[in-house]
Amino acid sequence: MIKHHPETKLLQSFSAGELPVSLSAAISIHVEMCPVCQQRCEEFTEQKAEQYFESAHVDDLAEPIQIDSNLLAMIDNITDDPTQAHVVEPTLNSVAVKGDEYQLPRALRSMSVGRFAGIGKVSRARIDLDEGEIHTSLLQIQPGGMIPEHTHKGFELTLLLDGEFSDDMGTYYPGDFIWLDGRHQHNPKTEQGCLCLTVVSDALHFTQGFGKLLNPFGSLLY
Amino acid sequence: MTQAGTILLQNQKSGLHNKVMTNDNNHQQLAAWLADVANNRDKAAFTGLFRFFAPKIQRIAHQQFSNESQASEVVQETMSNVWRKAHLYSPEKGAPTTWVYTIMRNVSFDMLRKMKSRKEDNFSEDIWPLVEADNVETEVYPDHLQQNQILAYLDKLPENQKQVVKGFYFLEMSQEQLARHLNLPLGTVKSRLRLALGKLKQQLTEQDMGERDD
Ligand SMILES: [Zn+2]
């Protein structure tokens, strides 16, 4: 049973396509597993579509509109191609670590996952997304393993994909979306083992360079 | 004047008689046009959709990218997806405006990503799938991993070769279509394709899977 959800602002930014790929993928995975957030995202998407395409000050079908010659030429150009898009069922990727094999969710299927490496019961594989200070990884913890207590300067998102883990705030199950910022400390451990997607940023460097990309939800993070 | 232009003007004139269209009427008309595009590849219906959406998309994208040519690219990409994917729209799933909005959002998302990173990857359809798994056909690419690898290597090709390979393999255009589309002699398209494939093949044989880590 999923108990931890992305907050409203994140769901809104996600629906509007304003988040980085890493966070968008994480929210997509949650939404696929969580009917509540799925419903909310559908609503946000509809609202956005209405705002863009149907608000009163926007031209509707009844109004003559200016279309320049470039746009006009585009119609010919597009309709020149008679073929229809051939949509295929996505093939899912899987990863293997220490004898366990996991099928990755659809949102991660085209991402390039590095090799698992780690110490003791904790293994990590980077997902190479080239997002500057935002690092995305798969984290596998073997049964009985734990991560030493740590704090964050920026944010840390943990999305539980498989298994369970607990910290002093409770037990988490697949689909749980756990968002922590610099104020939190935690000390997760797992009895049965788990696989998580983590997205971590370092706020120290956060304002430089990448700030622009994160503008839409920058206020959420500071 | 082109055929599309004539239709466009006719639509504008008849539109004037209907000043009080409601959103519901809009939805019905837009959905009917989508169905016509899907079933009959109807250019007049597409022109209707284009008239409604293109100027709005142009304005929205212009705000987002602050750049005229990128805004036009969003229009081009979005509307050509509407043309090619109209058969995937179903009214039960929501308003046609919402459907087109999601296409535009995905196009902008992938474009923004290309501007921010050096990668040529399109993640939007994995993040926001346009169709549910039950009404798609089975995968045609036998080896998805290899396809990903090819995508990565594709990045390293010179721009003119990249264009041809992408058109041919990923947009499934014929060499003739590509030549027309790129305004190049057929022979040039063929030789670029051959060159590019030679290089890709070489890199695929040299590769060592799972090599990269940090
Ligand atoms: Zn949820």
Long-range contacts of A135-139 (CB under 8 A, 24+ apart): A135/A199, A135/A200, A135/A201, A136/A22, A136/A25, A136/A197, A136/A198, A136/A199, A136/A200, A137/A197, A137/A198, A137/A200, A138/A95, A138/A113, A138/A195, A138/A196, A138/A197, A138/A198, A139/A195, A139/A196, A139/A197, A139/A198
Candidates 1.10.3720.10, 3.40.50.1370, 1.10.1740.10, 3.40.50.880; CATH matching B14-141? 1.10.1740.10
Q: pLDDT class for A114, splitting at 50, 70, 90?
A: very high
Q: Which residue in chain B is spatially nearest to A74 when comparing CA positions? A: B76
Q: pLDDT class for A10, splitting at 50, 70, 90?
A: very high
pLDDT at B209 over 50: no
Q: Average the pLDDT over B83-103 and give the result.
A: 94
Cα torsion through A85, A87, A88, A94, rounded to 10: 110
User: Could you tell me if A119 lies within 8 Å of chain B, comparing CB atoms?
Assistant: no
Closest C-alpha among A26, A85, A81 to residue B103? A85
CA dist B213 and A214 (Å) reads 26
Q: pLDDT class for B148, splitting at 50, 70, 90?
A: low
CA dist A131 and A24 (Å) reads 13
* Domain boundaries defined on chain B: 14-141
pLDDT at A209 over 80: no
A199 CA to chain B: closest CA distance, Å?
Answer: 16
* Range in A217-221, B102-106, B125-129, B194-198 with the lowest mean pLDDT: A217-221
> Looking at per-residue confidence, does A108 or B176 come out higher?
A108
* Range in A123-127, A147-151, B207-211 with the lowest mean pLDDT: B207-211
User: Could you tell me if A50 lies within 8 Å of chain B, comparing CB atoms?
Assistant: yes
Would you identify the CATH topology of the domain A94-216? Answer: Jelly Rolls (2.60.120)
pLDDT at A25 over 80: yes
Distances (CA, A) of B131 to A32, A87, B90, B145, B147: 13, 9, 10, 22, 21
* Domain boundaries defined on chain A: 94-216
Residues in chain A within 8 Å Cβ distance of B122: 110
- Arithmetic mean of pLDDT over chain A: 82
**Neighbour tally for A212: CB within 10 Å:** 10
Contacts of B211 (CB under 8 A, 6+ apart): none
Q: pLDDT class for B29, splitting at 50, 70, 90?
A: very high
Of A21, A48, A83, the CB nearest to B113: A21
pLDDT tens, A60-105?
Answer: 554 445 667 777 889 999 999 888 888 777 788 899 998 899 999 9
Nearest 5 degrees, angle CA A18-CA A20-CA A23? 105
- Say what the pLDDT of residue A214 is: 39
Of B16, B38, B56, the CB nearest to A58: B56
Contacts of A202 (CB under 8 A, 6+ apart): A133, A153, A154
CA dist A137 and B164 (Å) reads 34
- Say what the pLDDT of residue A168 is: 80
Distance A31 CA to ligand 1 centre (A): 6
pLDDT at A219 over 60: no
Residues in chain A within 8 Å Cβ distance of B155: none
Burial group, residue A149, by CB count within 10 angstroms (0-12, 13-18, 19+): exposed
> What are the phi and psi torsion angles at A47 (to 5°)?
-60, -45
User: Could you tell me if A62 lies within 8 Å of chain B, comparing CB atoms?
Assistant: yes
